[in-house]
Structure 1
Amino acid sequence: DALVKGTTMLQNQLHGQLMYHYPSYRKFFCLVNSKTALYFWETYPSPRHLQAVTAETLADGLRSVSRNACSMEKAQTILDLVAADGDTHREFQAERDFIVKSIIQELRYKQQAIEGIDGELKTLLPLTGYKLDTMPGINLNTASHIISEIGDINRFPTSDKLARFAGIAPVLFSSAGKGKEQRSRQGNRVLHGIFYFLAVQLVQVSKGG
């Protein structure tokens, strides 16, 4: 969680810098934090680094990190967008460029750490005996979160006990011989949040399908 939150924070910081350096930056790449995009931001943290760069040179560099996925047309489009944005040079530009590069380096470090953890989880998950990742809507990370919160599922004799532990079982409130079920505000709030998110996803898929 800390790595994911840290990555999100860095991405927000990167957006904050790029919106001044490259006003049209969202049109450059589908994902601002993709491998190709990170290469571009690090190599050309601001337009001043592109002044003597041709479409051919830019395309060659992008191809080197994108498995030849970037075309000459893509490179020319980026250069045209940069030209259309006009002069975005600001005071202390060198220091601002350094900030962009530092953000990129930290992003790469965290992304590599997350990939390493995911690799370990792929090895460990089958050893737990859980089959959560075979269910629709539950990926490796979600399954790992659920398992870490539940622990040994055998400590719950019934599914009702597990539901109450997760805070997703309705609670019966009765008065004067009359009862009414209401949603529970007790139980494990982390698990409750995970199941709520899954339910929302399933509803969206159902409506779309």
Structure 2
Amino acid sequence: MQKRFKDILRSYLPEVLNFFSQLDSKVLLELLSKFPSKQAIIKNEEQVIQLLTSFRNWNEQKAKAFVNAIKRSIGRKDKHQVAQTIILSITQQLKQIKEQIQSIDDQIKQMMEQFDQTNFPDIPGMGDTTKATIISEVGDIEKFESKEKFVSYIKHKTQGNIEKREQSAEKDILQLSDKSDKVDREVQEEIPRANIKWQKAKASDNSHSEEIS
């Protein structure tokens, strides 16, 4: 979805990509959900600037620079508002996805607050989502006699998952290789037949030419 979003912005509002590196940015989604076209942004210049400056890292100078860039946009014209409709649709979908993710994160946080983390290893940078994932895989952490055994189990589990993915990838490669070999055989078998057909057709043409002469 984001690739399609980027492609259509590159065609109709390429300047947007100079100001937003993250296409699921809250600022961008709020902006385009209300002003999904060049015309809408220019027509509502003051509201656009007001919206942008309501977010952190967006001062009035930057907001005005954005609007001015849109005014000079080299993007394609959206005569029938097709691009506008697509941009609005994708923006709304991305907003819904972000809201769903946030809702899930909130639920996980609430669950983790009720969970006894006394014996959970204190690992820097590990958030509630990662902890919840580990708990769902491991179960009762108290069954491990030490942190070292717990870490060893996680490494073993991770390595097992990696090996499964590698085996799956190897299987896919082998299947593709088999298909490629089959195609090669079919091509090799077809070449002599095609050559015979060509020779017969050539002989027929020569015979026909002799009859005419």
Structure 2 length-normalised TM: 0.60
Deviations for 1:12-67, whole angstroms, at most 9, x for unmatched residues? Answer: 3322321222212233246432322112122232213234343x342123345x37
Q: Which residue of 2 aligns with 1:85?
A: 73
Q: Which residue of 2 aligns with 1:48?
A: 39
Report deviation, 1:97. Answer: 1.5
Aligned counterpart for 2:15 among listed residues 1, 20, 24: 24
CA contact (8 A) 2:9 2:16 kept: yes
Q: Which residue of 2 aligns with 1:59?
A: 49
Gaps of 5+ in 1: 1-9, 170-183, 194-209
- Give 2:133's aligned amino acid: H
CA contact (8 A) 1:59 1:75 kept: yes
Q: Which residue of 2 aligns with 1:151?
A: 139
Q: C-alpha distance in 2, partners of 1:58/1:98?
A: 19
Q: Tell me: CA distance 1:16–1:159, structure 2 relative to 1, closer, same or farther (3 Å).
A: same
CA contact (8 A) 1:45 1:101 kept: yes
CA contact (8 A) 2:42 2:67 kept: no
Matched, 1:33 2:20: no
- Give 2:90's aligned amino acid: I
CA contact (8 A) 2:10 2:75 kept: no
% same residue: 23
- Give 1:120's aligned amino acid: Q
Q: C-alpha distance in 2, partners of 1:60/1:51?
A: 13
The structure whose residues are more often strand, as a share, is 1
Aligned counterpart for 2:109 among listed residues 122, 125, 130: 122
Report deviation, 1:136. Answer: 0.8
Q: C-alpha distance in 2, partners of 1:151/1:49?
A: 53
Q: Tell me: CA distance 1:158–1:135, structure 2 relative to 1, closer, same or farther (3 Å).
A: closer
Deviations for 1:56-114, whole angstroms, at most 9, x for unmatched residues? Answer: 342123345x37x643322221122223432421565x222112111111122121222
Q: Tell me: CA distance 1:136–1:27, structure 2 relative to 1, closer, same or farther (3 Å).
A: same
Q: Tell me: CA distance 1:157–1:85, structure 2 relative to 1, closer, same or farther (3 Å).
A: same
CA contact (8 A) 1:133 1:140 kept: no
Q: Which residue of 2 aligns with 1:95?
A: 82
RMSD, aligned CA? 3.4
Q: Tell me: CA distance 1:151–1:91, structure 2 relative to 1, closer, same or farther (3 Å).
A: farther
The structure whose residues are more often helix, as a share, is 2
Q: Pick the structure with greater CA Rg.
A: 2
- Give 2:13's aligned amino acid: Y
Q: C-alpha distance in 1, partners of 2:31/2:138?
A: 43
Aligned pairs, how many?
A: 163
Q: C-alpha distance in 2, partners of 1:133/1:59?
A: 47
Structure 1 length-normalised TM: 0.61
